Chains A and B, each alone.
Chain A
Amino acid sequence: MKNHVLRPLWIVLAAIAVFMVVRHFIVPADFGVEEGGNFTYNYHRLSANDDWKNFKVKYRGREYCQECHEENVESILQSPHAIIQCENCHGPAIDHPDNPEALAIDTSRGQCLRCHTYLPYPTSQRSEIPGFEDPEDHNPDENCVDCHNPHNPDLENM
């Protein structure tokens, strides 16, 4: 019965030992500080980088559309809308034309008004885009694309 005083300590040590064993099996093997990094900012599961690298790309860019929709690309490049990417109006290509087979054609006025509502901000380029203070004044009952060609909106070509 000597030194019963240390008994709680043995229990604690045993608990720690069990925990360390469990920890060994649960924590991903590649968890640690990245080479050349420090504990404060670079302590993590190293393969998490790859998780993010493998994330799906959805916006493919105009160059991609050009492979199949050459006309549209060419036409838009000649127009005042040359700066606008196709996917801004048609949504992300993702795996188009496999999935989705066709991209959306959004003919709503909101599509155009995000740029073409005039805002009276003297120091902003926004006020230099042709637009309407109140879009309700400009053919409110029709879609813009009924009269304007979004791929070539030049007023000359109307």
Chain B
Amino acid sequence: MSVEQVVAQGAEHIAVHGMDWTTKELFTYPNEFIYWSIQIVMYPYMTGLVAGAFVLSSLYHVFGQKDLKTIARFSLVFSLALLPVAMMPLLLHLQQPLRNMNVMLTPHFTSAIAAFGIVFSTYAAIVLTEIWFVYRVFFVDQVNALKGKEGTRDRFMYYLYLVLTLGAFDTGDAAVAKDKKAVTIMAGIGIPVACFLHGYAGFIFGSVKANALWMSPLIPVIFIMSAIVSGIALCMLTYIIIMEWKKWSAIIAKGKGDETVQLIAGAELDVITKTSRYLLGFMVAAITLELLDLIFRGYTAMKSWDILRSVMYGKDFVNIFVLQYGLGNLVPFLMLLIPGTTIRRVFFATILVLFGVFMMRWNVVIGGQAFSLSFAGYMHYHLPIIPHNLETYKEGLFGALTVIATPFVLFWIINKVTPSLEYKFNNE
């Protein structure tokens, strides 16, 4: 930089990362801002959804939980749709997004983030492989069905499916049996990898010794549990929406009293009741661990407790105790527990659960930066709503909404190739 530029720097306004959404109270170090904002809230939230969706599907494939059969295939494909989205918040957050490949090129493995590229790719490979095995016979069928058909769309689909078969056209019993076994193995490997993927997202926070709120060996475990909770809840929610939609289209097509309508409704309730039992189980585990962490901090009352307490019981009280624990945990917990499950109640309960897990991520990520490292001051986060530059878009409400919307778009596209809701499988 030339001298003139250095001088000129003084005159023009220069945007400092974090200044747009941080306000300070009392004493904070000059360089302290809320550097990790909404996208870092989204990051563990989205990886959590991926991991949770996958674990749900594996409960069927590995442990043979027959009651999850219908939702299993759906959640497997959905976890594929969520996969790229787990990475998106990080890309939106990076100050140098074009250098993202450096994480894979020169991974510095003493950093929790370094493993991200590798764990993430491994996990992506596992999910893709598993889906391939589940759908291989379907691909072959499609190739056979589309063979010789004219029309651009059909030609395109034909070649797409042709590539997807990877040249494996054998649909004999022996080959199909092999597929099935491979699915089980992939799902089996997938569970620890999914848990690792997310557990280490927790480790990214738990290992930051400079941060009094994050530093805890429980954080990774808490993150895994709440990840599974959110993953299951999202699968249930999406499943309900899709089944309702199908039910309504059946009603419109065939009238309310039709047999298919009853069938769909019955199946839906059955799947949902069974899945919600797993949801409840994981919720208990997650909340127990979170409370343990909270009680432990209060009881040991280390140097940082004074400021932590003032944040938790004071400034962030509504966020933590009303929104997260109350509205996000307790209310849906009771809603699911009360006998006589109805679709509508589960629908609202899963929305609340998803909200609760989101608030938990928020309270960890933003709450961890709500106080100064000096323990003598506070910082407040103001989520940028109207974007007035690239940064306030990327790390603002609209950036977060982009991230939330993407998996649904992806699912819609993927579902065109590997239908996860209607196709009857001959190998299952």
Contacts and interface: CB of A to CB of B under 8 A. Distances in A.
Interface stretch (A5-13, A71-79, A144-152): A5-13
Contact of A1 (B101, B106, B132, B169): B169
Interface residues of B, number: 22
Contacts of A31: 106
B285 interface: no
Contact of A43 (B108, B128, B179): B108
Interface string A93-134: 011000110000000000000000000000000000000000
A102 to B, nearest CB: 13
Given A1-B175, A40-B110, A94-B3, A8 B105 contact: no
A8 to B, nearest CB: 4
A4 B108 contact: no
Interface in B143-192: 166-170, 175, 178-179, 182
A158 interface: no
Interface stretch (A19-27, A60-68, A82-90): A19-27
A154 B320 CA distance: 62
Given A4-B175, A94-B3, A100-B3, A27 B182 contact: no
A74 B284 CA distance: 78
A7 B129 CA distance: 9
Interface in A1-52: 1, 4-5, 7-8, 11-12, 19, 23, 26-27, 31, 39-40, 43
B408 to A, nearest CB: 27
B125 interface: yes
Interface residues of A, number: 19
A8 B125 contact: yes
Given A5-B178, A5-B182, A11 B166 contact: yes
Nearest to A12: B125
A1 B106 CA distance: 39
Main secondary structure of the interface of B (DSSP, over half): helix
A7 B105 contact: no
Nearest to B136: A4
B19 interface: no
Nearest to A41: B110
A101 to B, nearest CB: 11
Interface in B177-232: 178-179, 182
B104 interface: yes
Nearest to A7: B166
A40 B110 CA distance: 6
A4 B110 contact: no
Contacts of B179: 5
A26 B101 CA distance: 10
B104 A19 contact: yes
A147 B170 CA distance: 99
Interface centre among B104, B106, B168, B179 (most CB of A within 10 A): B106
A75 to B, nearest CB: 28
A8 B166 contact: yes
Contacts of B175: 1, 4
A66 B106 CA distance: 49
Contacts of A19: 104
B223 to A, nearest CB: 25
B260 to A, nearest CB: 37
Interface string B101-113: 1001110111000
11 contacts: A1-B169, A4-B136, A4-B178, A5-B179, A7-B167, A7-B168, A11-B166, A23-B104, A27-B105, A27-B106, A39-B110
Interface of A: 1, 4-5, 7-8, 11-12, 19, 23, 26-27, 31, 39-40, 43, 94-95, 99-100
Given A8-B125, A8-B132, A23-B104, 6 more contacts: A4-B136, A4-B167, A4-B175, A5-B182, A8-B128, A39-B110
